[in-house]
Chain A
Amino acid sequence: MNLEAKQQIWKEYQKEIADDRYYYARSCIRQTFFPGSEWAYLDILGNRLGKTVFDDPRHTTCTGIGYHSDVVPVETIMTVVARHFALMTEAGFENITPSCITSFGIYTEILHTWQEHPEIEEQTHEYLWKATRREFKKPKNLAHTSDVIYKFRHEIAAQKKHALVDVHTGRPLRVVDHIGCHYAKMFPSKGIGGAEFPAVLSGMVTAWGGEPVDYPERRHCCGFGFRNYLVLANRGYSIANSKKKFESMQPYEPDFIITNCPGCAMFLDKWQYTISEMEGTTYGKDGYGIPVLTYEEAAALVLGYDPWEIGLQMHQVSVEPLLEKMGIAYDPDAKYRNARGEDMGRPACPNYLKV
């Protein structure tokens, strides 16, 4: 196939991402487990790339975890999302950027449903007016926050302090990606690379000097499964799916995992601890785990942010081996200090997982 034909085909796997002026839709899971990622994202966009992002205090959950646990009906979530659109409209923004993959999938699904069934959109307008006296316009552009970082990956690379390279050997770091299921599996045309050729994260990795590594279960779910994690009795489902992924990626000896879904990042980090406690198995080198980074954390490290400013001390799998490979200086004691520099003690040590 000639180059022109290839480029034509690849165009179908791209998506439009607004250039500036984003309304930020916060993620319940990201703010709980990766608040430093969220701060890094807003700081990178605002202070490094000179973009305008509106973080609205009136924004709430989209109720997506409730919706996919089947306790929140579709009419309700549509109206909650419509309220977010109304807040965006009132603030003078037209581009909405959810930080959560579940939210991104839901916003995409709702816009699709309204397109196919205008009577449902009309009903949602009525519900929203009745409940809040607000009116909304649909966004002109919907992009996940990882799409936005992907869009500016070369601008970030131009400002980089550290590449995704082992500074001791010059070897590009081997990076496995995990893309949240609801990013492109439901509506492949809305994700960069679609569901088949996931490029949103590997594009960042390549731009920042790393080597994306394909692995057999790359597209397999992390195992969140909503009710399958939220209910304690069901968590075997969740951990079994993550285990399948770890076993698939381990032979490629990845230096780290990168994810764009906050839930996946949390599970792939925490389940490594749980599996080690259950079976004594660890997946990294010398008894360590495989570090898991959100794309915001990866971008922030590349740009030279301090690891503890962006919250890497929240990870159960130690990131220090990765920081050392990248030649990033860090203060080991600062990891455990609060904002006033006071020591907060230390977490207990796992029985098997080296930290």
Chain B
Amino acid sequence: MQKLSEKLKQDIHYIESLNSCMNCGVCTAICPAAEFYRYDPRVIVDTVQRQDEEALETLLKSETIWYCGECMSCKTRCPRSNTPGGVIMSLRRLSQEEGYFTESEKGRQQFALKRVLGNNILNYGYCVTPDVVRPEMHPEQGPVWEWIYEHRDEFYERVHSNYRKEGAGALRKVDDQTMKELRSIFEVTGGKAFMDNIENCSAEKAQEMGMDMETYFLHTYMDNNDNHQ
């Protein structure tokens, strides 16, 4: 069986993101996630460089790799041109491919993300559309958004968009042929298989936790054990 560290080295994000780290910690100093969470990108890069299989497996099952916001502020500042945020992307991919992501609360959130974003992309052709920003799930959007959401058909017409209609313009309905091509790209490139794997691993975890999938979705979307900071 191929080692985790060997698999990691084949990932283009890993290849492009890690030259040689001198452990200066500038990435941690600039990192918004390190300021908010119990998170230290310097330590993660250190762990990865050691190529200790046991430590790597522990990392892939941990909460830690899920804290990064991928703002990539670390890339600008690293004196060795590393990108710890890119290393994180390779770790997250491997964690999901190995099925380790369901071992942590933050990792399990990949199920909520897959359900929301996968659904939006493959059904609407966009990552976000007004229909999916439901005020009850987004109280932070405030009363103006609630008003827009309630009147969205006439409101979007007012601001010159082509909401749910054929043709060009903002918020138009993406045509069937285009959607077919988009879904075909996901099939051919492994995007669909990657999402299916998230779904399957999550179903197994839900069963282990004694939850139906609806309860599990809410768990992955809303639960916070307050042990991350």
Residues of chain A having any CB pair with chain B under 8 Å: 26, 28-32, 35-36, 38-39, 55-58, 60-61, 63-66, 68-76, 78-80, 83, 105, 113, 116-117, 120, 127-128, 130-132, 134, 181-182, 184-186, 188, 195, 219-221, 223-228, 230-237, 239-241, 244, 270-271, 273-274, 308-311, 313-316, 337-340, 342, 344-350
Contact = CB atoms under 8 A, between A and B. Distances in A.
Contacts of B140: 235, 239, 270-271, 273-274
Contacts of B211: none
Of residues A61, A75, A113, A350, which shows the largest number of chain B Cβ atoms within 10 Å of its Cβ? A61
Interface residues of B, number: 88
Contacts of A55: 168-169
Nearest to A273: B142
A126 to B, nearest CB: 9
A12 to B, nearest CB: 15
Interface string B57-73: 00000000010111111
The 9 closest A-B pairs by CB, nearest first: A225-B69, A76-B191, A347-B147, A31-B170, A65-B127, A39-B160, A348-B143, A338-B154, A35-B161
A70 B110 contact: yes
A337 B154 CA distance: 9
A149 B110 CA distance: 37
A270 B221 CA distance: 20
Of residues A56, A130, A230, which shows the largest number of chain B Cβ atoms within 10 Å of its Cβ? A230
B89 interface: yes
A337 B75 CA distance: 46
B218 to A, nearest CB: 9
Contacts of B169: 55
A224 B73 CA distance: 13
Contacts, number: 258
A134 B174 CA distance: 18
21 contacts: A31-B170, A32-B133, A35-B170, A35-B171, A61-B121, A63-B127, A69-B113, A70-B89, A71-B198, A76-B186, A79-B189, A105-B72, A116-B16, A127-B188, A195-B76, A223-B69, A231-B220, A239-B140, A270-B142, A311-B159, A347-B147
A316 B172 contact: no
B220 to A, nearest CB: 7
A32 B128 contact: yes
A71 B158 CA distance: 35
Nearest to A219: B73
Interface string B196-229: 0010000000000000000000001111100000
A236 B36 contact: yes
B70 A225 contact: yes
B50 interface: no
A76 B185 contact: yes
Contacts of A185: 71-73, 75-76
B121 A240 contact: no
Nearest to B133: A32
Interface stretch (B1-9, B41-49, B175-183): B175-183
B167 to A, nearest CB: 6
Contacts of B25: none
A61 B118 CA distance: 12
B96 interface: yes
Contact of A70 (B96, B116, B157, B186): B96
A221 B69 contact: yes
Contacts of A220: 32
B190 A339 contact: no
Contacts of B177: 58
A237 B157 contact: no
B97 to A, nearest CB: 9
B117 A131 contact: no
Given A71-B118, A270-B145, A35 B159 contact: yes
Interface string B123-160: 00111111001000100111111111001001111111
Given A35-B170, A220-B32, A73 B127 contact: no
B109 interface: yes
Interface string B82-98: 01000001001100100
B189 A28 contact: no
A39 B168 CA distance: 12
A130 B144 CA distance: 45
B24 interface: no
Given A73-B190, A237-B33, A38 B154 contact: no
B185 A128 contact: yes
Of residues A55, A56, A73, A313, which shows the largest number of chain B Cβ atoms within 10 Å of its Cβ? A73
A196 to B, nearest CB: 8
B191 A73 contact: yes
Contact of B221 (A31, A117, A233, A345): A233
